[in-house]
Chain A
Amino acid sequence: MTTTLIFYFFAATLIFAAFRVITVRNPVHAALFLVLTFFSSAAIWLLLQAEFLAIALVLVYVGAVMVLFLFVVMMLDINFAPLREGFAKHLPVGLTVGFLILIEMVMVVTHWKGLANPSTVVTTEMSNTKMLGQVLYTVYAYPFEIAAAILLVAMIAAIALTSRLHNRAKYQKPEQQVVVRREDRIRLISMPAEPKD
């Protein structure tokens, strides 16, 4: 009973926040509403007993991805008015895509049988982080390594896109500074005393 109430509370918050993301004018407000959306979905995952995934969602999406979003909308200082002008022109395409997604969702939802049978839900006393760990690195080892490859591609792409980094500055290099010895810098030479004339 209470769980259902809490679910409806978070679900309503989620839908409201998601709606505001696409309707508010200020992009910073939109990004903050997206944070609220992720937060509410994390709460719903928690209600499904997926505690590791729920908190990982907060950690990765709220703690990292949205920080980048905010960075961009706050600091890039984009003027969003010209972006809105083509709204009517792009409307037919947008509606078509939206309609296709809707049909696909309906098809998936009506044919989904995975969790319909409650006996498939395993309830154990073990924490679900451990359960996740026991399958992720054995049964799903290939997808796991592929994830590493995808992250590598992302890393290289990010650097390639910003590769106009030119360094004009001169640095101190502490790792070179600390290994300098006296002999590298000082040369003692003995000279005969010069007679004064």
Chain B
Amino acid sequence: MLENYLPILFFMIIGIAIGAVMSIIGFLLGTRRPNPEKDSPYECGFEAFEDARMKFDVRYYLVAILFIIFDLEIAFLFPWAVIIKSAGLFEFIAMMIFLSILVIGFIYEWKKGALEWE
């Protein structure tokens, strides 16, 4: 089994290597004439007057949290999806209970307006 994962490791290393080599080529061949105007962060003609890192709408965090929960749900669904063809009614019902508990949560967030964006 493990020998199948060796190519993946190589693939990742090569992916990183290609990225690194391309960045280095860019730095070696590219011109380098910095000046303060060019290096300032993009801002429609203004001078940047404050740090760009600012607080954002809480909705974005909510999306990230809900994403974790649904991602876990998917991780629970994967083994079930693989065995369902050879499994019986018991496994099917077990998953239906699991899904319906989570659908309650989904309906709750829907009703609470957590999925609304303005």
Residues of A participating in the B interface, judged by any CB pair closer than 8 Å: 3, 46-47, 49, 51-52, 56, 59-60, 63-65, 67-68, 71-72, 74-77, 127, 129-130, 132-134, 136-138, 141, 144-145, 147-149, 151-152, 154-156, 158-159, 162-165, 167-169, 171
Contacts and interface: CB of A to CB of B under 8 A. Distances in A.
Contacts of B60: 71, 75
A137 B105 contact: no
B19 to A, nearest CB: 16
B60 to A, nearest CB: 7
Interface in B92-118: 94-95, 97-98, 101-102, 104-106, 108-109, 112-114, 116, 118
Interface string B53-90: 11110111110111111011101101110110001001
A162 B54 contact: no
A59 B78 CA distance: 12
A76 B62 CA distance: 13
Interface of B: 1-2, 5, 51, 53-56, 58-62, 64-69, 71-73, 75-76, 78-80, 82-83, 87, 90-91, 94-95, 97-98, 101-102, 104-106, 108-109, 112-114, 116, 118
B101 A137 contact: no
**Most interface-central of B66, B76, B90 (chain A CB within 10 A):** B76
19 contacts: A3-B2, A46-B5, A51-B5, A59-B71, A60-B71, A75-B56, A77-B55, A127-B82, A136-B80, A137-B83, A137-B91, A138-B90, A144-B76, A145-B101, A148-B101, A151-B102, A152-B104, A155-B106, A163-B112
Contact of B116 (A47, A75, A136, A171): A171
A126 to B, nearest CB: 11
Contact of A130 (B62, B79, B91, B106): B79
